[in-house]
Amino acid sequence: MARRVVVTGVGLVSAVGVGTEETWRNLLAGQSGVGPITHFDVTGFPVSIAAEVKGFDPLQFIEKKELKKMGLFIQFALAATEFAMRQARLNLAPEIADRAGVYIGSGIGGFDVIEREHTALMQGGPRKISPFFIPAAIVNLASGFVSIRWGAKGPNSATCTACSSSAHAVGDSYRLIQRSDAEVMICGGTEAAITPMGVGGFAAMRALSTRNDAPQKASRPFDAERDGFVVGEGAGILILEELNFALQRGAPILAEIVGYGMSGDAFHITQPSEDADGAVRAMRHTLASAGATPDQVEYINAHGTSTPYNDRLETLAIKKVFGEAAKRVPVSSTKSMTGHLLGGAGGLEAGITVLALRDQILPPTINYEHPDPDCDLDYVPNQARPAQVEYALSNSFGFGGTNAALLFKRYTG
């Protein structure tokens, strides 16, 4: 029989809060984190808005001398892990260090570092490149720095599967504990792609909202007037533990993770197929792995990017998986407030889903003002909603046709 796995800590850093409870409180209040970009000069850019993390002071979490060794995505991961570890009341003593692992995903990693060091190269030649360039930028160093900081000597890995990265990291961590490869996993995702190349690249694809004059209205998942996603940044980290290990140390148990599924579209580099087949199979695999039925799911935290294709096809996928039950299952996209964290989205949203189970309240989809006949589900429009929820699903879909879904269950002892 597979070992049971629970969530004992959630750490969130987002455009609506630096910290788990601040982020959660502002999400429930329907607060948008989108605004004008301040990270760089946007002159000449067709898109000048993003969901930046505000008021983030890395020195609260990281020694000053260490900052030059890490890109912003690593800094966000360390901060979110700090919040998660505090909530879990977890201390990785030497005797359990080799049974505690780290698995943190990122879709892009240190774009800010790459751009900065390329400028140094162009202006001053190769001698001006920092010796910390590579470790500050590569994706797996978020996991690396976290493992060093907390002394986690167990499985250490990273995923880079576009916008599914951190959902895969959480799901893979769940499986590692299930099969006795670890007792504890620090897992999730992080991203810091609000840079000239990041924003410019997505804008060139015409994937971003151009609602520059009304930034807080720009991210509007499932709304008929949606015109693209808004780039967000931040991190979401979960502490997963084997149930008995958590009980023996008296850990606070927030929820249980009971299902994980993944799939590939094998269709297009950026678009899902018109039959939403990949998303359908990911959700079905997740439910099957948990031994759960569609009518048991009482909340879905959607991928819900605010792009025309994604929202329509995710809605179709939910209808195919849930059938008649689809009309009664509340579905919300918190990207309406946080923006899209790309590879960090799944970690952030898994954490949000856990908090919804903990507090029995559903975060809203804000800016839902114009119904779309192709998007006709209950999207928890504009206001948080108290609800009785036993099972909650979190979806993540990425470029290249990579899909993941996670199923969480309310923990009642």
Which positions are annotated as active-site residues?
163, 303, 340
For residue 397, list its beta bridge partners: 403
H or E stretch covering 298 = strand 297-301
* CA–CA distance, 368 with 317 (Å, rounded to integer): 20
Phi and psi at residue 266, in whole multiples of 5°?
50, 50
Residue 227 burial class via C-beta count within 10 angstroms: exposed 0-12, middle 13-18, buried 19 and up:
middle
Q: 268: which DSSP letter?
A: -
User: Which candidate, 240, 239, 202, places its Cα nearest to that of 339?
Assistant: 202
**What is the pairing mode between strands 156-157 and 100-105?**
parallel
The strand pairing partners of 389, in sequence order, are none
CA 12 to chain centre: 9
Q: What is the CB-side half-sphere exposure of residue 145 using CA atoms within 13 A?
A: 28
Distance CA 296, CA 363 (A): 19
SS3 104: strand
Q: How far is CA 81 from CA 90, 142, 143, 331, 350, in A?
A: 11, 10, 10, 27, 14
- Measured CA to CA, the distance from residue 359 to residue 362 in angstroms comes to 9
HEC assignment per residue over 216-252: HHCCCCCCCCCCCECEECEEEEEEEEEHHHHHHCCCC
- Between CA 70 and CA 136 the distance in angstroms is 4
Number of H helices, E strands in the chain: 13, 15
Residues 152/146, Cβ–Cβ less than 8 Å: yes
